[in-house]
């Protein structure tokens, strides 16, 4: 049994919906005080309200509109978490975008937006939380990467895959620097997780992807939330600079034939 994280102070970026919301829900249900960010104020307010209703008495869910691609917004999110809860014990750097752009059509603006949100935003969020995490007796960072880029490839997502692989290059060196401050940093690599963002890709995509997963279903946002909770736990304190693939076995088959019955 893992020791409770109740009362821990958690910042989750990109958490008005999707995986970030799922991560925030798991921490809130575990009794943590959670601050969620995103850019859409109405969506954030609705999500914070919903998650507050799922949290045990005493645990708070607050929100701040903050663009993770902007260093000043990342600092504001860290400061608001400290102002509301007295510190930061866990940062979940999750905000990300995944526009599909085939190479001939990829514009400098799209490339810039993907890298600025997914990669730069991860670095800015970590930098903004460093002092507070160093002052915490927990000091955990969990980054949401992806199987796309670090392990697999997908037409249209070469920029996205590069941004997700860049996050892993970042955590390996950051882990060494942060170890001296008692902070761990690890990454979760989700496969295809059922979120609003994934739903936008359409029914055809969703059914083809489920068929390619050995466990026979898309992942749920809580599959990622529980992995983040484990990496944030006291018991995971000797794990740093590492990655966990959470994909129902999706990266395993050598071919479609490999998925068939023996």
Q: Where do contacts with ligand NAP occur on this chain (CB under 6 A)?
A: 13-20, 37-40, 43, 67-69, 94-98, 117-118, 144, 146, 190, 192-193, 195-198
Which residues are registered as beta bridge partners of 244? 188
Which residue lies nearer to ligand NAP by CB, 56 or 153? Answer: 153
Q: How far apart are CA 102 and CA 111, in angstroms?
A: 11
Q: How far apart are CA 70 and CA 76, in angstroms?
A: 10
Distances (CA, A) of 20 to 35, 36, 112, 214, 258: 11, 8, 22, 25, 32
Interhelix angle 121-135/71-85, nearest 10 degrees = 30
- CA-based diameter of the chain, in Å? 58
Which residue lies nearer to ligand NAP by CB, 136 or 192? Answer: 192
Which residue lies nearer to ligand NAP by CB, 85 or 98? Answer: 98
Which residue lies nearer to ligand NAP by CB, 116 or 135? Answer: 116
- Given the residues 124, 160, 226, 238, the one annotated as active site: 160
- Residue written as token pair 């996050």: 167
**Closest distance between ligand NAP and the C-beta of residue 199, in Å?**
8
DSSP state of 245: E
Active-site residue flag, 238:
no
**Closest distance between ligand NAP and the C-beta of residue 250, in Å?**
10
**Closest distance between ligand NAP and the C-beta of residue 79, in Å?**
16
Question: How would you class 23 by CB atoms within 10 Å of its CB: exposed for 0-12, middle for 13-18, buried for 19 or more?
Answer: buried
Whether the CB-CB separation of 251 and 153 falls below 8 Å is answered with no
**Closest distance between ligand NAP and the C-beta of residue 198, in Å?**
4
**Closest distance between ligand NAP and the C-beta of residue 85, in Å?**
20
Residues assigned a catalytic role: 160
């Amino acid at each position: 049994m893992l020791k409770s994280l109740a009362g821990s102070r958690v910042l989750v970026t990109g958490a008005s919906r999707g995986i970030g919301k799922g991560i925030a829900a798991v921490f809130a249900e575990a009794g943590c005080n959670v601050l969620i960010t995103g850019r859409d104020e109405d969506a954030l307010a609705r999500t914070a309200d919903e998650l507050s209703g799922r949290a045990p008495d005493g645990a708070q869910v607050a929100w701040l509109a903050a663009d993770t691609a902007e260093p000043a917004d990342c600092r504001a999110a860290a400061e608001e978490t400290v102002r509301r809860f007295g510190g930061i014990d866990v940062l979940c750097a999750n905000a990300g975008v995944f526009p599909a752009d085939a190479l001939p059509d990829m514009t400098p603006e799209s490339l810039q937006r993907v890298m600025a949100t997914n990669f730069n935003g991860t670095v800015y969020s970590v930098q903004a939380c460093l002092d507070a995490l160093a002052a915490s007796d927990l000091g955990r960072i969990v980054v949401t990467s992806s199987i796309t880029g670090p392990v697999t490839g997908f037409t249209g997502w070469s920029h996205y895959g590069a941004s997700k692989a860049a996050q892993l290059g970042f955590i390996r060196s950051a882990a060494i620097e942060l170890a001296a401050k008692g902070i761990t940093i690890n990454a979760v690599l989700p496969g295809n997780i059922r979120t609003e963002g994934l739903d936008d890709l359409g029914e055809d995509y969703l059914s083809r992807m489920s068929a390619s997963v050995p466990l026979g279903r898309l992942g749920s946002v809580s599959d990622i939330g529980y992995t983040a909770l484990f990496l944030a736990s006291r018991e995971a304190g000797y794990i740093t600079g590492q990655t966990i693939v959470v994909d129902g076995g999706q990266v395993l088959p050598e071919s479609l034939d490999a998925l068939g019955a023996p």
